[in-house]
């Protein structure tokens, strides 16, 4: 099969104004990344399915911050483009698409045609260039199937899949990534086959896909890849969340497994919320109680941590992990009390 020719008729001028726009974009991205790292209360259950306090995960943070970023980008574009004599085509809001979880901003270089976009099961012929990660996608043109295959477990795989879901056939785009100061990543979607939206799947199909994701996630977790496992568990949960309540019992196991991954990834706030989902359905779930206790201790909520760990020991008095963790919480509490007492003495002494 011949490599499809890529037209360059839609490319923007790479003059000084364009370089200034890219510089502003990177600076704005740094500020958004800092905002996203501040703790907040996500509004919906979907927020717990992300894996990054930034990227694996986190799943859908800081909408206002990202909207501010895009507003600034549009403002910078008008400032830097100047007159039409300097730049044939000014950057429009429609040229930008920002991923809901804030992991990247897409700038359209060449518009695609049609309205259809890749869906679950679509086989996409793509070309990706400039990825900063240690192992990027294969060199040259490659075929990727949406929702299927081990390529999705890579860091670049999750990013590409998110972007492809927003692209039309023939589209070429640049991706600006937080913390990446090199040339923009470029992604081209030459063609794709017809797929299906998740709502078009039968209940049995969704459950089968969720079981596959769960099994793969468990394999990755046992191999020490908590980030990849979290992605699999998150995808499985997103499939099952579309089913009528109360949903299948697998949701409880998936939330508990996701919490374990989030703890290993240093995301105690998300882990605590994942455990909340488990305990809403099974108040005596030992693993969820223990993991929430560990998460609360990491967040400095020692009273809540103590309460959860004591519940574990009330059910299973010989639970060694809970005994050790409770001992750590007691020591941490004494240090906090000592620090508070010293501060009070300085204040009133």
Taking the whole predicted model, whether its pTM rises above 0.75 is answered as: no
Residue that terminates a domain, selected from 192, 217, 248: 192
Confidence (pLDDT) at 297: 95
Give domain status of residue 113, yes or no: yes
Q: Quick one: 188 and 104 in the same domain?
A: yes
Give domain status of residue 76, yes or no: no
Residue-wise pLDDT for 16-67, tens only, equals: 444 444 444 444 444 433 333 344 443 334 434 544 433 333 333 333 444 4
Q: How many domains does the chain have?
A: 2
Q: Quick one: 221 and 312 in the same domain?
A: yes
Confidence (pLDDT) at 349: 62
Provide the sign of the torsion angle of the four alpha carbons 327, 333, 337, 343, taken in this order.
Answer: positive
Out of 106-110, 177-181, 222-226, which region has the weakest mean confidence (pLDDT)? 177-181
Query: 247 near 241, Cβ under 8 Å?
Result: yes
Enclosing domain of residue 265 = 203-337
Domain containing residue 308: CATH number: 1.25.40.10
Q: Quick one: 212 and 297 in the same domain?
A: yes
Residue-wise pLDDT for 25-39, tens only, equals: 444 444 433 333 344
SS3 of the chain:
CCCCCCCCCCCCCCCHHHHHHHHHHHHHHHHHHHHHCCCCCCCCHHHHHCCCCCCCCCCCCCHHHHHHHHHHHHHHHHHHHCCCCCCCCCCCHHHEEECCCCCCEEEEEECCECCCCCCECCEEEEEEECCCCCCCCCCCCEEEECCCCHHHHCHHHHHHHHHHCCCCECCEEEEECCCCCCCCEEEEEEEECCCECHHHCCHHHHHHHHHHHHHHHHHHHHCCCHHHHHHHHHHHHHHHCCCCCCCCCHHHHHHHHHHHHHHHCCCHHHHHHHHHHHHHHCCCCHHHHHHHHHHHHHCCCHHHHHHHHHHHHHHCCCCHHHHHHHHHHHHHHHHHHHHHHHHHHHHHC
Confidence (pLDDT) at 198: 73
Give domain status of residue 12, yes or no: no
């Amino acid at each position: 099969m011949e490599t499809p020719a890529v037209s360059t008729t839609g490319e923007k001028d790479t003059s000084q104004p364009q370089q200034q726009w890219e510089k502003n974009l990177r600076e704005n991205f740094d500020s958004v990344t800092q905002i996203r790292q501040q703790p907040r209360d996500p509004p919906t259950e979907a927020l717990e399915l992300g894996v990054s306090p930034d990227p694996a995960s986190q799943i859908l943070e800081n909408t206002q911050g990202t909207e501010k970023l895009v507003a600034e980008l549009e403002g910078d574009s008008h400032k830097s483009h100047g007159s039409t004599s300097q730049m044939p085509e000014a950057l429009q809001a429609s040229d930008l698409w920002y991923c809901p979880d804030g992991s990247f901003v897409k700038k359209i270089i060449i518009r695609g045609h049609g309205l259809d976009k890749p869906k679950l099961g679509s086989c996409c012929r793509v070309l990706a260039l400039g990825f900063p990660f240690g192992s990027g996608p294969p060199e040259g043109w490659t075929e990727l199937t949406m929702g299927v295959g081990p390529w999705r477990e890579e860091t670049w795989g999750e990013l590409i899949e998110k972007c492809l879901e927003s692209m039309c056939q023939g589209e070429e785009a640049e991706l600006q990534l937080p913390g990446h100061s090199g040339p923009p990543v470029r992604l081209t979607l030459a063609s794709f086959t017809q797929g299906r939206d998740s709502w078009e799947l039968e209940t049995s199909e969704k459950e089968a896909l969720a079981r596959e994701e769960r099994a793969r996630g468990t394999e990755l977790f046992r191999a020490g890849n908590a980030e990849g496992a979290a992605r699999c568990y998150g995808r499985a949960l997103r499939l099952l969340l579309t089913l009528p309540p109360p949903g299948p019992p697998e949701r409880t196991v998936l939330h508990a497994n996701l919490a374990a991954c989030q703890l290993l990834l240093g995301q105690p706030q998300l882990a605590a919320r994942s455990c909340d989902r488990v305990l809403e359905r099974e108040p005596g779930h030992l693993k969820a109680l223990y993991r929430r206790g560990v998460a609360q201790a990491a967040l400095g909520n020692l009273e809540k941590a103590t309460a959860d760990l004591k519940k574990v020991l009330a059910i299973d008095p010989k639970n060694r992990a809970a005994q050790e963790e409770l001992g750590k919480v007691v020591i941490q509490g004494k240090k906090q009390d000592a620090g508070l007492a010293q501060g009070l003495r300085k204040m009133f002494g």
